[in-house]
Amino acid sequence: MLDMIDEKLDFALAGLLGWVNWWDGVRLIWVDGATKEFRRKVTDWQPSSDPVASLEVQAKAGKIDREIYVHNLQIVKWGKIFPKISGKVAFDLINASPRERAEAAYMTLSSQD
């Protein structure tokens, strides 16, 4: 749904989490923009393709607004929002791909001020 390659989406999500990339003399790493605390090696954090990292951004988006995140995930998966979620729809949402979770998280986090 989003017109971004995986790497661009990953970098955008890191920015929405408040992370900046930093050269530590050996490699690029993600650090917290406020505290400069280490978060991840850039090459080890790919929420658009890695299930664990996609769950991390899903959790952050869920903390911001669970309902909006679930709506966004439905839009990513099917292009529409179901007014009532059946067991099948809920199961399909639980089994969303890393890319789908990352896109829905991006949509949720980028809509916050």
pLDDT attached to residue 33: 94
Residue 2's pLDDT is what?
83
Residue 41 φ then ψ, to 5°: -75, 140
Residue 113 has what pLDDT?
60
Q: For residue 50, what are its two tokens? A: 């890695």
| pTM over the 0.85 mark | yes
CA distance 29 to 106: 20
Domain layout of the chain by residue ranges: 6-110
Report the alpha-carbon distance of residue 30 to residue 77 in Å, rounded: 29
Q: What pLDDT sits at residue 7?
A: 95
CA–CA distance, 113 with 100 (Å, rounded to integer): 23
- Picking from 20, 95, 18, 93, the residue whose alpha carbon sits closest to that of residue 57 is 18
